[in-house]
A and B are shown apart, each in its own frame.
Chain A
Amino acid sequence: MFSNPLPRRDFIRATLTGGAVVAAAGAGLLRSDSAMAGDVPGWPAKPFEDKTLSSAMMDSVGKTSVAPSPKVKLTAPTIAENGGAVPVTVEIDFPMTADDYIDAVYLFVDHNPSPLVSKYQFTPESGQAYFQERIKMAKTDHIRVIAKSSKGVLMASTPKEVKVTIGGCGG
């Protein structure tokens, strides 16, 4: 490093580039819909940062209302003492063949600070569109799931109400 000091011109260029990154990060703080510096490339910041169910649905599935289908099964407890870890199981009764399969599954909690909780993308190699995860719920609320087939057909679960004793989002 000392034997080969950074030429002055390169030093200035490096400083300017660094400044641009800081400015971009600053813009991220002001614009809630833009990706933050550390975001994983491809992570959909916009629908995840939407504050209402209708905007989160619009930015993820492109509709604010999707008809329920018995094919989309959502299992969650009726009462959750701890809103910080509510177990949910989602299972879509749909064949996973090369020409028609469940491509994406979205899970929402209607009144969470950010309603979109997760997005799963499956392939025929998944065998079944199925997952289990644990989620945070701010208060007693409804969970709902929307699945999209590879041909673009949308189907929803019946919304499931979970009574929450202690909320899990802090504040």
Chain B
Amino acid sequence: MTVAIGNPMIRMPSQAKNGEIIEVRSLIMHPMTTGLQKDKAGKIIPAHFIQTVTAEFDGKLFMTIDWSIAISTNPYLAYKMRAQKSGTLKMTWKDNQEQSWTATAQLTVA
């Protein structure tokens, strides 16, 4: 059985007023193993977890997150962003085994 991994998703309003603070919700599939658990054969399951998440709007970085092994499997994340212009939100997740994923969402500011 393979473990589901990746498939990042972003949910946020597609339209906002200038200056409005909007909530962005996101989800990604990831095992987030701690390196502290053993499998049935008694072998340590290696740590495999997302270490950083970044959010940029139209290429400008505005939030950086560092995560530990204590973030739950399939990490859910919500945060806020100030809507100032129309453009593209891009999120990037990176794990400790040199894998990374990105997702984008469009915002129209009236």
Contacts and interface: CB of A to CB of B under 8 A. Distances in A.
Of listed A43, A127, A132, residue having the most chain B CB within 10 A:
A127
B42 to A, nearest CB: 13
Contacts of B69: 48, 114, 136
Given A126-B79, A126-B80, A119 B66 contact: yes
Interface residues of B, number: 39
Given A43-B51, A126-B80, A135 B70 contact: yes
A84 B72 contact: yes
A43 B70 contact: no
A136 B82 contact: no
A94 interface: no
A134 B72 contact: yes
A11 interface: no
Contact of B51 (A39, A133, A135, A168): A39
Nearest to B79: A131
A118 interface: yes
A94 B73 CA distance: 31
B71 A135 contact: yes
A39 B96 contact: yes
Grouping DSSP codes into helix (H, G, I), strand (E, B) and loop, the B interface class, with mixed when no group exceeds half, is: strand
B68 A116 contact: yes
Chain A interface size, under 10 / 10 to 19 / 20 to 34 / 35 or more: 35 or more
A40 B63 contact: no
B81 A85 contact: no
Contacts of B65: 118-121, 131
Contacts of A168: 72
A109 B77 contact: no
Interface string A123-165: 1111110111111110000000000000000000000000000
A123 B71 contact: no
Nearest to A42: B52
A132 B78 CA distance: 5
Closest 10 CB pairs of A and B: A170-B37, A127-B82, A127-B21, A125-B62, A132-B78, A134-B72, A85-B72, A119-B66, A121-B64, A40-B51
